[in-house]
């Protein structure tokens, strides 16, 4: 599991020092699989070493007009694109950019067949008119649509509808489709909530497709196209051409974002793995979300604000959550002190504040007979943005994440063997919003079921990309199953699914952002730059993986982040001492904080020490740090 929870256990190495793995998170919280393409990619790359990369013919395409809107208060600076970084394939680039310019060679059929990655295609589509209005509204899950397309608040069922355990929306979905409870027996069917256009889609067998399994009949009937409006799409192994066309070379988002995001492979002939691009989170099945205006109380919105909240002289209700100061500056960046606080709470083991659930949903989802105690979840600072019930202007400066991706990004094939990655094509100031982590909203039980199914399967190429939304789990005594949520970008996701891991000093930091609901159990996970990032730099994020952990079913990857803080690296002594020095300096500030509050620290250490989950070595390391 990436991000979300973070219990880093300082560890001692063999010599009893704070070791290379000293800043690790809880094992069970972090489960992540190697990306689908990595193993293949290494082989293919070697096979093509020294050859010119083959890149698809770029067909000229009309540039999508980006509507410029008058600015009210917040200025989203037009960042200057580094001239050396113009990589967008459809743009003409001058010779000096040849190093990174996408090649124009057309694909030919004479590619060695063994080097052609094989995937299966998704799948099927339901026509929008196939559901009743009620059903559509029940499923709507639209948030933060950029600018003028922002949708109205969607109804997710009333309190009465909700019943004890199953939300009305998911009940109605089940009534409409028997495709819901199928993970165990049949190939999983995946249901997607409404798109930005209110369009309903149903993806059948996305899991199976991603899994690489084949259907012998070469196609699968989903539903009668007339009665249920499903289109039958033949299932077969994708040819290279088909795979390539799955992701628009110029825009992997297929027009779903305000800006285009190209993809580029200068290393080998691989294409990005098959997945469905979505710009907003969607409910998979049982997750309970209720976005209603009636649910938003006066204290949850700024119903008296006018124009730009950031320039208002009176205190805006939406800033109360962040100490009466907005998290954003008038340039649309995160405020320096707020950002530093978030960084230190996430990265500095002494600042990390863990909270413990009474009945941890993560442990509950395992269905074990004995419920293990909660291993702790990182407390986080979060941002609260203005939304529909706020009276401020749509371009109020306290609406950043909901405006969608604004940076010039590119999905690219990394040369170091990490598979695909995400990079910026322009210099990004510290505190810039880059993108959200978008995926299917699953309950933890659903995620657990997916994982079980994956590990049971014969094909280990089915990888998962999940993050927990666990920042507030501790607030509620016992979360209902449908309230303990996570995001999974394995089958549906946005560009964030390409962000690779970097231990500790990654250039992105994830911050929870509340937009459309005051509910604590659902929030957006947004990535901001933790420092200034240069054009062409890869964007990275610390997944919080514990590379020593073999107590989870998902194999961790061999980390190639090349950070000097890498937790998955045997270091020579010199580098090791540098590493300790860096950790020491990072911790100094926090150690003084702990000294200032010795009793709280001691209490915390006692609490951790009393937990049977820690062995002597770990307790010793906790005491060492304290």
Ligand X SMILES: C[S@@+](CC[C@H](N)C(=O)[O-])C[C@H]1O[C@@H](n2cnc3c(N)ncnc32)[C@H](O)[C@@H]1O
CB of 462 to ligand X, least distance (A): 12
| 221 three-class SS | coil
State CA 250 to chain mean position distance: 22
User: Which lies closer to ligand X via its Cβ, residue 33 or residue 312?
Assistant: 33
Task: Report strand pairing: 409-413 vs 262-264.
Answer: parallel
Beta-strand (E) ranges in 425-545? 433-436, 440-443, 466-468, 485-488, 492-493, 500-501, 508-514, 524-529, 538-541
Instruction: CB nearer to ligand X: give 30 or 74.
Output: 30
Nearest approach in angstroms of CB 463 to ligand X is: 6
- Residue 86 CB, shortest distance to ligand X, in Å, is 24
Minimum CB–partner distance for residue 273 and ligand X (Å): 6
> Judged by CB, which is closer to ligand X: 270, or 516?
270
Specify the residue, 186 or 562, whose C-beta has the smaller distance to ligand X.
562
Beta carbon nearer to ligand X, 339 or 411? 411
Residues near ligand X (CB under 6 A) = 32-35, 37-38, 273, 418-421, 465, 497-498, 500-501, 557, 559-561
Is the Cβ–Cβ distance between 170 and 286 less than 8 Å?
yes
Distance (Å, whole) CA 251 – CA 424: 15
In the complex, the smallest distance separating the C-beta of residue 136 from ligand X, rounded to whole angstroms, is 31
Q: How far is the CB of 392 from ligand X (least distance, A)?
A: 35
Query: Does residue 335 contact residue 329 with C-beta atoms inside 8 Å?
Result: yes
> How many Cα neighbours within 13 Å face the side chain of 31?
23
Q: Shortest approach of ligand X to residue 55 CB, angstroms? A: 17
- Between 391 and 575, whose beta carbon lies closer to ligand X? 575
- Tell me the closest approach of the beta carbon of residue 207 to ligand X, in angstroms: 16
Q: Which is nearer to ligand X, 200 or 488 (CB)?
A: 488
Record the tokens describing residue 51, joined without a space.
């050859």
Nearer to ligand X, 349 or 421 (CB): 421
Spatial neighbors of 355 by CB under 8 A, at least 6 apart, are 376, 377, 378, 379, 473, 474
Burial of 13 (0-12, 13-18, 19+ CB in 10 A): middle
Q: Name the nearest CA neighbour of 586 among 353, 378, 338, 352.
A: 352
The two most distant CA atoms of the chain are separated, in Å, by 71
- DSSP H or E stretch at residue 203: strand 201-204
- Shortest Å, Cβ 291 to ligand X: 27
Q: Do the Cβ atoms of 412 and 265 come closer than 8 Å?
A: yes
Nearest approach in angstroms of CB 496 to ligand X is 8
Least CB distance to ligand X at residue 571 (A): 16
Q: How far is the CB of 501 from ligand X (least distance, A)?
A: 4
Q: Measured between alpha carbons, how far is 186 from 181 in angstroms, rounded to an integer?
A: 9
Q: Which residues pair with 492 in a beta bridge?
A: 276
Cβ atoms of 252 and 469 closer than 8 Å = no
CA distance 463 to 302: 42
For the CB of residue 566, give the shortest distance to ligand X in the complex, in Å: 8
Provide the strand spans (E) within 329-374. 354-355
Percent of the chain that is helix, strand, coil (3-state, to 5):
25, 15, 60
* Nearer Cβ to ligand X (176/568): 568
CA gap 605, 623 in Å, rounded = 7
CB 45 → ligand X: shortest distance, Å?
Answer: 12
Give the three-state DSSP class for 433.
strand
Q: Identify the DSSP state of 564.
A: T
The residue among 162 and 423 lying less far from ligand X, judged by its C-beta, is 423
Bridge partners of 99, per DSSP, are: none
Could you tell me the sign of the dihedral formed by the alpha carbons of 84, 89, 91, 93, in that order? Answer: positive
DSSP H helices in 83-205: 133-139, 159-162, 168-176
Least distance from ligand X to the Cβ atom of residue 417, Å: 7
Residue closer to ligand X by CB (options 318, 545) is 545
Q: How far apart are CA 579 and CA 18, in angstroms?
A: 10
Q: Which residue lies nearer to ligand X by CB, 179 or 561? A: 561
Q: Which residues contact 337 (CB under 8 A, 6 or more apart)?
A: none
Taking CB positions, which residue lies at the least distance from ligand X?
419
Would you say 167 or 273 has its CB closer to ligand X?
273
Nearer to ligand X, 87 or 489 (CB): 489
Tokens found for residue 24:
């690790």
Of the candidates 133, 142, 79, the one whose C-alpha atom is nearest the C-alpha of residue 430 is 79
Of 56 and 421, nearer to ligand X (C-beta) is: 421
Query: What letter does residue 234 receive in the DSSP assignment?
Result: B
């Amino acid at each position: 599991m990436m991000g979300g929870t973070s219990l880093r256990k300082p560890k001692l190495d063999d010599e009893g020092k704070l070791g290379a793995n000293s800043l690790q998170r809880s094992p069970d919280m972090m489960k992540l699989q190697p990306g689908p393409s990595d193993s293949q990619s290494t082989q293919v790359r070697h096979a093509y070493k020294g050859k010119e990369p083959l890149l698809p013919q770029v067909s000229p395409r009309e540039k999508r007009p980006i509507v410029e809107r008058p600015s009210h208060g917040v200025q989203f600076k037009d960042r200057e694109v580094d001239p050396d970084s113009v990589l967008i394939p459809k743009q003409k680039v001058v010779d000096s950019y040849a190093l990174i310019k996408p090649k124009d060679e057309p694909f030919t059929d004479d590619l060695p067949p063994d080097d052609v990655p094989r995937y299966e295609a998704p799948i099927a589509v339901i026509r929008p008119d196939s559901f009743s209005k009620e059903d559509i509204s029940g499923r709507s899950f639209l948030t933060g649509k950029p600018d003028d397309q922002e949708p109205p608040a969607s109804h997710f069922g009333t309190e009465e509808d909700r019943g004890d355990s199953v939300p009305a929306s998911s009940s109605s979905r089940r009534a409409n489709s028997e495709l819901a409870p199928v993970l165990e027996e049949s190939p999983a069917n995946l249901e997607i909530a409404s798109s930005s256009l209110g369009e309903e889609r149903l993806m059948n067998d996305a899991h199976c497709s991603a899994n690489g399994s084949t259907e012998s009949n070469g196609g699968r009937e989903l539903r009668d196209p007339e009665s249920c409006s499903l289109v039958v799409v033949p299932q077969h192994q994708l040819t290279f051409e088909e795979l390539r066309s799955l992701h628009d070379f110029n825009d992997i988002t297929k027009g779903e974002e305000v800006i285009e995001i190209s993809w580029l492979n200068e290393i080998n002939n691989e294409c990005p793995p098959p997945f469905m691009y979505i710009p907003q989170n969607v409910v998979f099945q049982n997750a309970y979300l209720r976005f209603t205006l009636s649910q938003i109380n006066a204290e949850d919105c700024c119903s008296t604000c006018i124009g730009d909240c950031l320039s208002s002289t009176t205190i805006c209700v939406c800033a109360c959550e962040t100490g009466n100061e907005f998290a954003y500056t008038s340039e649309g960046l995160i405020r320096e002190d707020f950002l530093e606080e978030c960084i230190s709470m996430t990265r500095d083991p002494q600042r990390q504040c863990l909270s413990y659930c009474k009945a941890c949903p993560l442990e509950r989802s395992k269905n074990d007979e004995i419920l293990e105690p909660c291993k702790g979840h990182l407390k986080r600072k979060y941002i609260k943005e203005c939304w529909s019930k706020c009276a401020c202007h749509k371009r109020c400066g306290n609406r950043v994440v909901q405006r969608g991706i604004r940076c010039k990004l590119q999905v690219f094939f990394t040369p170091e063997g990490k598979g695909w990655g995400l990079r910026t094509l322009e210099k990004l100031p510290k505190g810039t919003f880059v993108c959200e982590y978008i995926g299917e909203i699953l309950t933890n039980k659903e995620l657990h079921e997916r994982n079980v199914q994956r590990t049971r399967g014969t094909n280990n190429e089915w990888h998962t990309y999940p993050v927990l939304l666990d920042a507030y789990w501790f607030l509620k005594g016992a979360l209902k199953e449908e309230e303990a949520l996570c995001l999974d970008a394995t089958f549906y996701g946005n560009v964030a699914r390409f962000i690779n891991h970097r231990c500790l000093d990654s250039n992105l930091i994830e911050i929870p952002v509340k937009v459309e609901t005051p509910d604590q159990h659902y929030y957006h996970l947004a990535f901001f730059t933790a420092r200034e990032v240069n054009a062409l730099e890869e964007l990275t994020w610390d997944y919080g993986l514990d590379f020593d952990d073999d107590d989870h079913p998902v194999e961790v990857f061999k980390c190639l982040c090349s950070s000097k803080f890498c937790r998955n690296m045997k270091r020579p002594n010199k580098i090791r001492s540098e590493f300790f020095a860096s950790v020491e300096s990072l911790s100094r500030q926090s150690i003084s904080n702990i000294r200032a509050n010795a009793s709280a620290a001691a209490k915390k250490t006692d609490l951790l020490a009393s937990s049977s989950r820690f062995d002597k070595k770990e307790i010793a390391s906790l005491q060492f740090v304290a």
